[in-house]
Amino acid sequence: MLCFLFYFYLMAVRELPPICPDVRQKQRLSIETLPPEMKAPIPPEPVIPIRTKTVKEFQEDMEKAKTSGDWTSVHDFYLTTFDSFLEVNAAFKKDANAPFNTIEDSGINTKFLNAVYDSILSTNPQYTSTSTYVIFAHLLRQIATLAEADHHFLVHWFKKLSQRRFKQLVDRLLQFISLRLFPAKSEELPPMGKCTWWNPSATKVLALLNAANSISNPPIIPFTDFYNLTLDHIDIMEEYNTWHSYGNSHRFSFCQFPFILSIAAKKTITQRDSEQQMISIARQSLVDKVSRRQRPDMTLLFLNIKVRRMHLVSDSLDELTRKRADLKKKLKVTFVGEAGLDMGGLTKEWFLLLIRQIFHADYEGPYQNGKNLMGLAVYNSITLDIRFPPCCYKKLLSPPIVPCDQSTPVGIAAVSLDDLQLVMPELAHGLSELLAYEGNVEEDFYSTFQVFQEEFGILKSYNLKPGGDRIPVTNQNRKEYVQLYVDFLLNKSMYKQFAAFYYGFHSVCASNALMLLRPEEVEILVCGCPELDMHALQKVTQYEGYTKTDPTIRYFWDVVLGFPLELQKKLLHFTTGSDRVPVGGMVDLNFKIAKHEVSTDWLPISHTCFNQLCLPVYKSKKELKQKLTIAISNAEGFGME
């Protein structure tokens, strides 16, 4: 790691960017104009040594040293190579005297560099010690403080690393940050007060690798590989408040580099930020009431929604419209005619049932009618059973903060043919074939930069660019045609509808915390984790009145693990009020099974507000399966409508 980063650093410092190709000649000319007494001798051109050791020769030297125990040749090689910058260049550059000032070629003999790097780590036990991080930290600071132009080169050079090497660098930097925050042996590192620059430097270098990963298509590693789970255990709200208060000033915060924060950390930030807004707005409502000398009541603190099950959609939309001013208060739901008290469970059920109806394929206008629902769900930390295409979440974050100028376009994202593939696969396939067509596009397709779209039974034409109806699609401009067509379909043609959806989402969920999120992370916050892992749920389940070895509990898990996915989702809905897994996975459910001291003729019952299942002591697996299946298959409502 040290050798590897050190050489990249030296290359950047020494050769990037070149100030002037003939700078030495200019120095000579300026010296000639000086009086004789002020002239100094011109230093000679540095002599760059020629080093011809190959990877094979170096590896043979290593094997001989391991066998014989005589490390003289390897030791001499290290002493010579790392003696000076000239020697480093001579050893690792493809051509020691040639400049490589391009983003395409770093000029490094990477095979040789990797061989030396691997040998240093494998033969020197010192590098397994945390104490060597002092050296590493100084190297990282030098890289972090390079000029922007040098960082630009490094990003493109990092991009050319193999996936394995790239992942090694990322993991080592993440480990460095974690060990600085929570050292296993604090005596091996300097006091935190003397090295507050360590983690900022490491994070900035990690940002270069993240940039390299982002501009690679496909990415070298998944974006989740940049998550540092150690940061889940620090005071993340202090980091957020520092970032929120000071922005990108000299005060460092991990929130300046959101790629390093896990989705769990970001969920904590969005949830706490929402709670702070809820408290602030509720307090203001109370103050307003008291200032008017009116008696305050608890209903002021909440967004209270009352609906009838038989008129769920119309009642819900009417309530949300009438109580728009209260949308940023804590949500509480009441089903008319039912005895349920909303401690969280009814809210989850209301979202589940409403989303199923309002986003049904046969229901018109989901964007318009459901424009507040996604924001309301995220604001209240509820996961939804919906599946929008990924480009929808890109558009929701374009931009992540609602612009002050109402004329500024919103919901316009950079979209590609890959995005269209997930929305209109047949059309995307046709456009892909157009791009790959080897014949004469203009003569064979006879298309122009004009497209047609049916609206309310009427076929309308749209030019993709000015005069598009007169511009033929050719082999030369077909890429532009495809890009404009995709942009038209996913941005321009739905602008008004999606703008309403965008403003509806942000009217409830407006927060600077959205700036920390990637589109994929917004989807997870909205929809929860995609996998339903009952084995994971079994591991984290808590018991009250039972132990995990009791026969009833063993029957329960045998039955549940054998359920088809649909019944497993119904069980989740029955016990938690939602069939979605929260962002943090099953562990965040706090699922509990309690003993219910009643006759085994009773069905299981649940307390969805507390994610608790109350289970009678059934005597057989067959009886438990029968009663549980009946209960979870008839779980909607309180039967008192």
Which residues are tagged catalytic? 609
Check whether 38 has a pLDDT greater than 60.
no
Identify which has the larger pLDDT, 471 or 247: 471
* Strand pairing category for 458-463 and 542-544: unpaired
Q: 383: buried, middle or exposed (CB in 10 Å: 19+, 13-18, 0-12)?
A: buried
Distances (CA, A) of 20 to 407, 553, 597: 46, 77, 87
Check whether 14 has a pLDDT greater than 90.
no
- Residue 8: pLDDT band (50, 70, 90) is low
* Residue-wise pLDDT tens digits, 317-365: 899 989 988 999 999 999 998 877 777 788 888 988 888 787 654 455 4
pTM score: 0.82
Give the pLDDT confidence score for residue 41 in this predicted structure: 62
Which among 295, 290, 226 has a CA at the least distance from the CA of 262?
226
Q: Structural domains in the chain?
A: 2-226 (no CATH), 273-410+501-527 (3.90.1750.10), 417-490 (3.30.2160.10), 534-633 (3.30.2410.10)
Check whether 242 has a pLDDT greater than 60.
yes
Q: Give the DSSP letter string of 246-278.
A: HTTSSS--GGGSGGGS-HHHHHHHHHHHHHHHH
- Residue 638: pLDDT band (50, 70, 90) is very low
CA dist., res. 151 & res. 163, Å (int): 20
Check whether 251 has a pLDDT greater than 50.
yes
